[in-house]
Amino acid sequence: MQTASPNKVAIVTGGGGGIGLAIAENFVSHDITTVIIGRNQEKLNAAGADLGPLCHPVCQDLDDLAALPGLIQQIITRFGRIDILVNNAGINQKKELTDVSDLEFQRILHTNVSVVFALSREVVRSMVAAGNGVIINISSMAAQYGIPKVIAYSASKSAIEGMTKAMAVELAPKGIRVNCIAPGFIATDMSEKALNGDAERKQKVMSRTPMGRLGAPADIGEAALYLVSEGAKYVTGVVLPVDGGNSIGF
Ligand code: NDP
């Protein structure tokens, strides 16, 4: 059985639903105090009620970069420290390249990359002072191979993998591990929007997924738990596909 040290404090962005909720659920059930951040108060409240007293919902639009230093400071003041950061919040847009405006492109890059950088910087400052910490970033199959109609999303997830490696080497001497999970096609609101109503795309996804089915959010929750556990203490800078074989499928 995987174990994580008790009484750790984690932040999971986008923890109110989908993959983030499954990660938070796994953390809480292993005694990790987990702050979930999202924009939708109702979703956060429901998640908080489900996960119980170790789960602490915080409603904040992370796109507001100026608010992030204060947000992290408040979390540290309340919980004493941050041991784990999961940069899970993300947005997607499916549109032909020629129809994507500069503003739309920047909006995806802002949420999926700039927020991850700014939040990590703030959290890393406190992790450096503590001499340890674990960060997990979330990539995608869109950074493993070419997928049409997701130009900004692909750029953002490729950036996430580069940042993961850069952070991992710079922060390893300071006791901080940084890894990335690359989920395959996981059944959430995001994949539903991308696949439902597009039979051809869904068929293409299935035909190159050797396990023949979508993943469950809990599959990513298990991988995240491993990466924050003592069992992964010598693991840093990796991109771990959790994808039913999709990334290596024919
Ligand atoms: P969902 O759309 O279900 O969830 C995304 C979460 O991100 C929501 O909880 C949302 O919170 C939060 N979020 C988005 N923007 C912001 C913001 N500005 N501030 C705060 N929170 C924000 O997606 P998934 O669970 O499917 O995706 C989670 C991660 O996994 C993403 O990074 C995605 O790119 C990645 N991924 C997903 C795959 C899939 O097949 N589902 C495949 C590969 C990667 P709220 O609703 O409260 O605003």
The enclosing domain of 80 has a CATH number of 3.40.50.720
How many domains, the chain? 1
The answer as to whether 169 is a domain residue is yes
pLDDT at residue number 218: 98
Sorting pLDDT into bands at 50, 70 and 90, what band is 7? Answer: confident
Q: How many CB atoms lie within 10 A of CB 3?
A: 11
Q: Compute the distance from residue 35 Cα to the ligand 1 centre, in Å.
A: 16
User: Could you give the 3-state DSSP secondary structure of residue 156?
Assistant: helix
The answer as to whether 179 is a domain residue is yes
R_g of the chain, CA atoms, integer Å? 17
The answer as to whether 1 is a domain residue is no
Whether 19 lines ligand 1, by a CB cut-off of 6 Å, is yes
Please, which residues bridge with residue 136 across strands?
86, 179
Q: Which residues contact 49 (CB under 8 A, 6 or more apart)?
A: none
153 part of the active site = yes
The answer as to whether 30 is a domain residue is yes
Q: Print the domain residue range for 211.
A: 9-248
Q: Compute the distance from residue 18 Cα to the ligand 1 centre, in Å.
A: 7
Residue 1 has pLDDT above 60, yes or no: no
Give phi and psi for 98, each to the nearest 5.
-70, -15
Whether 241 lines ligand 1, by a CB cut-off of 6 Å, is no
The pLDDT tens digits for 74-89 are: 999 999 999 999 999 9
The answer as to whether 2 is a domain residue is no
Q: Compute the distance from residue 16 Cα to the ligand 1 centre, in Å.
A: 9
The answer as to whether 241 is a domain residue is yes
Q: Tokens in use for 46? A: 């429901």
- Residue of the CA atom closest to atom 33 of ligand 1: 90
